[in-house]
Structure 1
Amino acid sequence: MQKLFFNTNGESRDQLRHFVTKLFNSVSHVKYLTISEYGLKFLTHQDHFLKSLSPFYNLIHLEVTTAASHNGGGFHDEVILPCWTVETLFKFLHVSPNLESLIFADGFCDYEAYPSYDWSLDLIPHCLLQHLKSIEFRGCFWNQAEKDLVRLILKNAKVLQTVRITISGQSSYFSKKSNYKKKVLNEIALFPRGSVDCVLHVS
């Protein structure tokens, strides 16, 4: 699996744009890719970055992580994905039309920190609607940001087969609830489904 992590040393904006474009295009042939939030953030340094990227036609599995999770970070090091990650990721997936499997390796921050973010169907690329078969959310806190994202994907992914949700051990909401799996499943059962074959797993 190809992994994209970044470490820059004061490059100018133009140099950074060139570096990011060159690096992404050099791995556009891969089938499996892991990318950190920093990798996605560097894409945003380019205006209309989709125009400069080669299509990732072979990419079928993508994992998105925080930078902290690769540096031994824990809950107190804020091992969470900022909400803007999803918007940038979905833009990137417009050049990854055949993606079948997507993993969010860390939970998301809540809207209380980023109240302007609102997931919408306009964000979702074609591959998630027509090709995505499996999606996994690890380290969830099951906050409103995460619930809304799961709801949006469940409603619109047409061939989705498996959804896996792992609740973080640091989630204070569930720390004293022995029946948290049932509670989460009961909530998700009320979400509209784009795929009647989708199976949910909560742990």
Structure 2
Amino acid sequence: MISGTKLKLFCYQGVFENDFCVFDAPSLEEADMVQLGSDDIEDNLEMQIAAYRCYKLFKGLANVKRLQVTNGSLEFLASAEELVSRLPSLPNLKHLAINEHEYAADFACIGLLKILQNSPCLESIDFKKGVYLSTYDENNDWTLDPVPPCFLTHLKTVTIRLFSASDQELHVVKTLLRTARILEELRFSSKLSREIQNVLLSLREESACDITFSKLNLF
């Protein structure tokens, strides 16, 4: 049990082998949840137990302003469908970073989508290892439904640090430009080839969002 009315930073790195619970932390500003070792989980029961431990820990971070999670943590939550609907509201969250050590984040992960839905004041998202769309098909008919409230009122900046211009990635970009109504800047690395940069710039159409290319550290 972790309690601290003056707690401002909380970091967890592990495999959810034990129960941890954060409570009474109204001043929490930043949290980092790094899930490790999911490949070592061999059966559904172990996955369910880990998912509940992940949920219990996540529930205590409801007041956080800046949150970094791994895609593995989000997939843990999604593996127990009954938990997704119970994820807490994050009324103070301003910045969300998805940082998987080896893999890009799945934009269609229901754990991620629920966090977006529950973060009405979210201003920025940082996909540190890139983003893809597991539900993509050649019909290009995947849509973000429902659109998270923050996409209409607060989300101003999205950063995608790794990008190869695959069909899945381009569909995510199109979705962001179409649904994030007040998005001001979509940021990519300046190391992208001129060809890929031109492809991205061509997607703007009628969007007022600036697509920029700058030096981005890949961590």
Instruction: Give the TM bin, normalised by the shorter chain.
Output: 0.7 to 0.9
Q: 1:90 aligns with which of 113, 132, 143?
A: 113
Tell me the percent identity: 26
Give the Cα–Cα distance (whole angstroms) in 1 for the partners of residues 86 and 198 of structure 2.
45
Aligned twin of 1:140:
163
- Counterpart of 1:75? none
How far off is 1:35 after superposition?
0.8
Q: Over aligned residues, Cα RMSD in angstroms?
A: 2.9
Instruction: Name the SS for the 1:43 alignment partner.
Output: helix
**What count of residue pairs does the alignment treat as equivalent?**
179
Query: Contact 2:188/2:212 (CA < 8 Å) preserved in 1?
Result: yes
Distance 1:185 1:83 in 2: 18
Higher strand share: 2
CA–CA distance in 2 between the matches of 1:199 and 1:109?
21
User: 1:21, 1:185 → 2: CA distance?
Assistant: 37
- Aligned partner letter, 1:107: G
- Structure 1, unaligned stretches of length 5 or more? 69-78
User: Are 1:155 and 2:189 matched, yes or no?
Assistant: no
Q: Does 1:199 align with 2:210?
A: yes
Q: What's the offset of the Cα at 1:147?
A: 1.2
Q: Which runs of 5 or more residues in structure 2 are unaligned? A: 1-29, 215-219
Decide whether the 8 Å contact of 2:136 with 2:168 is kept in 1.
no
Kindly provide the CA deviation profile for residues 137-181 of structure 1, in whole angstroms up to 9, marking residues without a partner as x: 111111111111111111121211111122666xxxx4xxxx336
Q: Using the alignment, how far apart are the partners of 2:133 and 2:178 within structure 1? A: 21
**SS where residue 135 of structure 1 aligns?**
strand
Q: 2:142 aligned to 106, 119, 144, which one?
A: 119
- TM-score, normalised to structure 2's length? 0.69
Task: Write 1 or 2 for the structure with the bigger share of helix.
Answer: 1
Runs of 4+ in 1 over 6 A off after TM superposition: none
Does structure 1 retain, via aligned residues, the 8 Å contact 2:107–2:172? no
Q: Which has the higher contact order (CA 8 A, sep 6+)?
A: 1
* Aligned 1:152-191 pairs, distance under 5 A: 152-166=175-189, 174=193, 179-180=194-195, 183-190=198-205
In the TM superposition, residue 5 of structure 1 has moved relative to its aligned partner by: 1.4
Return the offset for 1:119: 3.4
